[in-house]
Amino acid sequence: MNEAERERPKKTMTRNWSLLGIVLLIGIVLVFSFPDKKGEVIAISLEFFIEMIMILPAVMVLMGFFTVWVSKEMTMKYLGKSSGIKGILLAIFLGSMPTGPLYVAFPVAAELRKKGASISNIIILLSAWSCIKIPQEMVELQFLGLNFMVSRLLLTVIFIIIMGLLIERIIEYDNKKE
């Protein structure tokens, strides 16, 4: 881990806590200026807080497990040599592991490309990495319900695959032209 990477979380933390302070201040001013809204604001905030705190520790624990057990190296090893339907499914599966934010995925993807993984698999991996994460899906399930979560998940998976194959065609066509 280099210096810049170590600095990032600390900076973000300070920023996030300061932002919270500002929001809290605005909230207090607003509630005191309009005391009749106070009850409603507090009740709504409390309701959402309880809904969140009941799942948050579990979600974080799952995230911790995936981070420790599924490494970037594993993703590269398995995706580098697989192709076809198996490759597509693997790209979605590995992408949905919470192994870090999206900016971690780009170097992985670039490395995979050098190692000869297909463009479609890389696009699918990146897209799955950005929008499908197992712990996130659980928060979605909690707040938006089973129907919403499952249908959005299935639709995104279908369209991500289509997009991956499409981009691969476009790039290949482009390369041939040149």
Partner 1 sequence: MNLTVIFINIFALACLGFAFIKDRKKTKQALIVALKSFFRILPSIFMIIIIIGLLLGFMPQSTISNVMGVKSGFIGILFIAVLGTILFIPAIIAFPLAASLLRNGASITGIAVFITTLTMIGIVSLPLEIKEMGLKIALLRNGLSFIIAIIVGLIMGIIL
| Window 41 to 100, contacts with partner 1 (CB under 8 A) | 41-42, 44-45, 48-49, 51-52, 54-65, 67-69
The answer to whether the beta carbons of residues 132 and 95 sit under 8 Å apart is: yes
Of 55 and 76, CB closest to partner 1: 55
User: Which residue in the set 13, 74, 77, 172 belongs to the binding site for partner 1 (CB under 8 A)?
Assistant: 13
The answer to whether the beta carbons of residues 94 and 124 sit under 8 Å apart is: no
Q: What is the DSSP letter of 81?
A: T
The answer to whether the beta carbons of residues 104 and 137 sit under 8 Å apart is: no
Q: Choose one: 14-22, 71-79, 84-92; the region binding partner 1 (CB under 8 A).
A: 14-22
Q: Does 147 bind partner 1 (CB under 8 A)?
A: yes
- Draw the binding track, 105-144, toward partner 1 (x: CB under 8 A; -: no contact): -xx-xx--x-----x--xx--xx--xx-x-xx-xxxxxxx
Of 74 and 171, CB closest to partner 1: 171
Tokens of 14: 């300070």
CB of 111 to partner 1, least distance (A): 9
Closest CA to 141 of 45, 59, 62, 70: 59
Q: What b/e readout covers 70-85, taking b as 16+ CB neighbours within 10 angstroms?
A: beeeebbebbbebeee
Tokens of 135: 């712990």
CB of 41 to partner 1, least distance (A): 4
Of 22 and 85, CB closest to partner 1: 22
- Tell me, by CB under 8 A, how many residues bind partner 1: 77
How far apart are the C-alpha atoms of 61 and 25, rounded to whole Å?
A: 32
Of 62 and 76, CB closest to partner 1: 62
